[in-house]
Amino acid sequence: MLKADYLIVGAGFAGLTAAERLCTQYGRSCVVVEQRNHLGGNAYDFHNDHGVLVHAYGPHYFRTNSPRIREYLSRFTDWHEVEYRILSFADGRYWSFPINLKTFEQWIGRDSTSGEMQAWLESQRVAIGHPRNSEEAVVSKVGWEMYETFFKGYTIKQWKRDPKNLDASVCARIPVRTNRDDRYLTEAFQALPRDGYTRMFERMVDACGARLTLLLNTDYRDVLPRVDWNHMVYTGAIDEFYDRRFGALPYRSLRFEHESFTPEQLRERESISGKPGFWQPAMQVNYPNDEAFTRIVEIKHATGQDCPNTTIVREYPEDYGPGTEPYYPVPAPDSAVLYKLYKQLAERENRVSFIGRLATYRYYNMDQVVGMALAEVEKLEGK
Ligand code: FAD
Ligand code: UDP
């Protein structure tokens, strides 16, 4: 029998932040149970057989506006600061993306100004005061043509839903700018853990010392009879916790196809990538329309790793089902109704906290999940 103050389900950002704080700040004992064979949840990274540091479950671009969250994680890692830049490939060419003045200049085929772009957008925009869905969120900013070139096909592939049936927040994640700022993201701090995410998570675990017992390759349901705990912090899927009694919540899954290249193989790509040692011209290229995949990621652009080889990853959206992972909760009115039923049950639990992307069924970024875990621990420990 294992005895611990806390049983923590999941060793991703949510579970490990909670465990680290409980062990080191409050002197609690924790058993962390993770069904996968590694730390880090979806942020897990590793060096592949070609020596390239890759993100196992899709690109994870850390960013935050919160000094508190940055300071907290900085205890466990130094950072490689990087401005994330991506491109979109549509109509047979690369476009500056997210939409900005450079995109507009490509669109009209000549140099332009912010003022001209603003006037053009004004002429394209559909007047909608409060966008109610993702189609409205985009056409109210850029109009139908750019919506159809850059958003509609991508969103249907990714979510298998018309953007009309997705919350406005999904496509509203992507900024539109009338200056030449072509950064993918807008947060003040944009950086990757210098030695990778996994190393950072290992340091979080090390900080806990003997107070933490880590069980990998283990479904928490299999150890319940063997652990005597006072409180559970659950970061898995909320519908699974309740055996899907109201029905399964919808999730989208992904299939990742990795392909690696040697410097010799990369030589013929130099005219496209623009520099030796790389396959494509940016860390991420989105393919909104003609391909089955949504994006190709070459993370070496962002990690800054000094490695002669490179790896690209094509991302194919998939239905969620047996043998796949529930990567994305689906932000839509129908799933919100179902989630609410589970949330009502969760709110009645005295001995279980639900935190993280799966347990709260929210399309959260990593920093938001860290913030949520820090807040939950403070609440639990009465501070
Ligand atoms: P997870 O990382 O999902 O961890 C939950 C863990 O619980 C998992 O490891 C799971 O195996 C485990 N678990 C579940 N059920 C059980 C069980 N029954 N028993 C034991 N263990 C269990 N965020 C960003 O900020 N920037 C990005 O660029 C970014 N890109 C992303 C790209 C993709 C493709 C995806 C899918 C997500 C991306 N995110 C990004 C979001 C980021 O992955 C999440 O915010 C973060 O990983 C959530 O952490 P978590 O601990 O809540 O969940
Ligand atoms: N999106 C799009 N075209 C793009 C990029 C994004 O239509 O080129 C939409 C799509 O619906 C996507 C959402 O905007 O799911 C959010 O994009 P983001 O790049 O933030 O996706 P994530 O990295 O979370 O998968």
Average the pLDDT over 314-340 and give the result.
Answer: 97
Q: Are 309 and 50 in contact (CB under 8 A)?
A: yes
- Domain ranges across the chain: 2-80+193-249+330-380, 86-172
How much of the chain exceeds pLDDT 70, in percent?
100
What is the value of pTM for the model shown? Answer: 0.97
Q: Give the relative orientation of helices 134-146 and 114-124 as an angle to the nearest 10 degrees.
A: 110
> Ligand 1: which of 7, 42, 365 to mutate, judged by most atoms within 8 Å of the beta carbon?
42
What does the block give as tokens for 109? Answer: 């085929």
Q: Please determine, for residue 40, whether its predicted confidence score (pLDDT) is greater than 90.
A: yes
Residue 236 has a pLDDT of 98
The ligand that comes nearest to the alpha carbon of residue 241 is: 1
Structure confidence by residue, pLDDT tens digits, 82-108: 999 999 999 999 999 999 999 999 999
Distance in angstroms (rounded) separating the CA atoms of residues 372 and 382: 15
Distance 58 CA to ligand 1 centre (A): 11
Structure confidence by residue, pLDDT tens digits, 347-376: 999 999 999 999 999 999 999 999 999 999
Run of H or E including 72: helix 67-74
Distance 171 CA to ligand 2 centre (A): 6
Reported as a pLDDT band with limits 50, 70 and 90, residue 189 is very high
320 in contact with ligand 2, CB cutoff 6 A: no
Q: Please determine, for residue 383, whether its predicted confidence score (pLDDT) is greater than 70.
A: no
Structure confidence by residue, pLDDT tens digits, 104-134: 999 999 999 999 999 999 999 999 999 999 9
Q: Indicate the length of the chain as a whole number.
A: 383
Residue 209 has a pLDDT of 98
∠ CA 71-195-27, rounded to 5°: 50
Distance 8 CA to ligand 1 centre (A): 14
Residue 259 has a pLDDT of 98
Reported as a pLDDT band with limits 50, 70 and 90, residue 158 is very high
> Ligand 2: which of 60, 147, 151, 296 to mutate, judged by most atoms within 8 Å of the beta carbon?
151
Q: CB atoms < 10 A from the CB of 102, how many?
A: 17
Q: Please determine, for residue 288, whether its predicted confidence score (pLDDT) is greater than 90.
A: yes
Question: Does domain 2-80+193-249+330-380 sit in CATH 3.40.50.720?
Answer: yes
Nearest Cα residue to atom 43 of ligand 1: 42
Reported as a pLDDT band with limits 50, 70 and 90, residue 275 is very high
Distance in angstroms (rounded) separating the CA atoms of residues 261 and 244: 43
Residue 151 has a pLDDT of 98
Average the pLDDT over 140-156 and give the result.
Answer: 98
Reported as a pLDDT band with limits 50, 70 and 90, residue 184 is very high
The ligand that comes nearest to the alpha carbon of residue 289 is: 2
Q: Please determine, for residue 199, whether its predicted confidence score (pLDDT) is greater than 90.
A: yes
154 in contact with ligand 2, CB cutoff 6 A: yes
Average the pLDDT over 57-74 and give the result.
Answer: 98
Residue 76 has a pLDDT of 98
168 in contact with ligand 2, CB cutoff 6 A: no
